[in-house]
């Protein structure tokens, strides 16, 4: 089976929430894995390897996946177009400053940054990807060479989801031409929150166990644990509540506002949408 929609990002922009809302829809093939990353990391494995993820999708109106590495990749737009020029592309964008800050907290959670780099002010200088991933206009220019906004490229704004999640997800359902009246159970749930673990070893052990179960074909067990709330309860008990320790300084915020100003202005013109609330 060949997917007919592909979510391309961005990172820390509610893509997990969108993916989970789509998984529940009866007209969407329920693929288990998010972040297949075929068109970036595993392209050399070929279409046959990729399409194994969708082998049980016959009869569904919407078949697809979400991989946030695609938005920022130079080769992904052309590769996806060559594979399926009629594919519907979904992208969600967020205030690039808040996106970077959320990614930083997520990296702390994963243990990627430690010591003095726990400070966002320090980390944003040491990790250029925090900035590069927020250059949305630059990235979208590559995509609109192959896909047309409003036709087969849907550009969503994260802050719209916060205001009205039902209207937001219905716009995705409409784009995919599936029943827009379906209401997913996780509509008002916060997904993939960037918590800071108290015990990183315990957190990594849980993540490793989850990956292992999925690798041996027992992903349904992990989904059950998530569904009944066991995973959420463990993460809550193991979470660090003093997140203000990692707050962004006013100086850093001002510097980032200036840095993203022209990029956001160009994006506003491209989308014909006022994004001044991102400042």
Annotate the chain with DSSP letters as a single string: ---SEEEEE-TTSSHHHHHHHHHHSTTB-----S---TTTTSGGGHHHHHHGGGTT-TT-SB-EEE-TTTTT-SSHHHHHHHH-TT-EEEEEE--HHHHHHHHHHHHHHHTS--GGGGSHHHHHHH-THHHHTT-HHHHHHHHTTTS-BTTTEEEEEHHHHHH-HHHHHHHHHHHTTS-TT---TTTT---S---EES-HHHHHHHHHHHHHHHHTT-HHHHHHHHHHTHHHHHHHHTEE--GGGGPPPHHHHHHHHHHHHHHHHHHHHHHT---GGG-
CA neighbor of 67 nearest in space, from 6, 137, 158? 6
CA distance 83 to 81: 5
pTM as predicted? 0.83
CATH number of 5-198+238-274: 3.40.50.300
263 or 108, greater pLDDT:
263
What pLDDT is attached to residue 234? 65
What pLDDT is attached to residue 99? 97
For tokens 């994260």, what's the residue?
158
Annotate 130-145 with DSSP letters as a single string: HHHTT-HHHHHHHHTT
Q: What is the pLDDT of residues 165-221, one digit of tens each?
A: 999 999 999 999 999 999 999 888 765 555 555 565 665 676 667 667 666 767 666
Residue 137's CB: how many other CB atoms inside 10 A?
A: 18
| Domain spans of the chain, in order of start | 5-198+238-274
* Range 221-247 average pLDDT: 61
CA distance 76 to 74: 6
Q: What is the pLDDT of residues 211-232, one digit of tens each?
A: 676 667 676 666 666 666 676 6
What pLDDT is attached to residue 242? 47
Q: What is the pLDDT of residues 12-32, one digit of tens each?
A: 999 999 999 999 999 999 888
Q: What is the pLDDT of residues 98-150, one digit of tens each?
A: 999 999 988 887 778 877 778 899 989 999 999 999 999 999 999 999 999 99
CA distance 187 to 136: 26
Measure Cα distances from 25 to 9, 98, 115, 217, 279 in Å.
20, 29, 43, 22, 35
Burial degree of 77 (CB within 10 A; 0-12, 13-18, 19+): buried
């Amino acid at each position: 089976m060949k997917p007919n929609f592909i979510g391309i990002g961005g990172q820390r922009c509610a893509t997990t929430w969108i993916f989970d809302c789509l998984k529940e829809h009866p007209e969407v093939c329920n693929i288990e894995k998010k972040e297949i990353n075929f068109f970036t990391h595993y392209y050399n494995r070929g279409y046959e390897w990729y399409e194994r993820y969708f082998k049980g999708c016959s009869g569904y109106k919407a078949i697809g996946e979400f991989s946030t590495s695609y938005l920022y990749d130079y080769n992904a737009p052309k590769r996806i177009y060559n594979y399926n020029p009629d594919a519907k592309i979904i992208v969600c964008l967020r205030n690039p400053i808040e996106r970077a800050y959320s990614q930083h907290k997520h990296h702390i959670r994963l243990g990627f940054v430690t010591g003095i780099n726990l400070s966002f002010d320090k980390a944003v200088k040491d990790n250029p990807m925090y900035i590069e991933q927020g250059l949305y206009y630059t990235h979208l220019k590559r995509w609109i060479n192959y896909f047309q906004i409003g036709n087969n490229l849907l550009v969503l704004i994260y802050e719209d989801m916060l205001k009205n999640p039902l209207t937001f997800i219905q716009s995705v359902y409409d784009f995919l031409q599936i029943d827009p009246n379906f209401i997913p159970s996780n509509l008002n749930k916060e997904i993939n929150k960037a918590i800071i673990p108290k015990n990183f070893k315990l957190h990594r052990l849980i993540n490793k166990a989850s990956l292992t179960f999925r690798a041996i074909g027992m992903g349904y067990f992990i989904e059950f644990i998530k569904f009944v709330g066991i995973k959420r309860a463990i993460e809550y008990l193991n979470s660090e509540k003093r997140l203000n320790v990692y707050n962004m300084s006013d100086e850093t915020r001002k510097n980032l506002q200036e840095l993203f100003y022209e990029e956001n202005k160009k994006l506003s013109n491209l989308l014909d949408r006022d994004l001044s609330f991102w400042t």
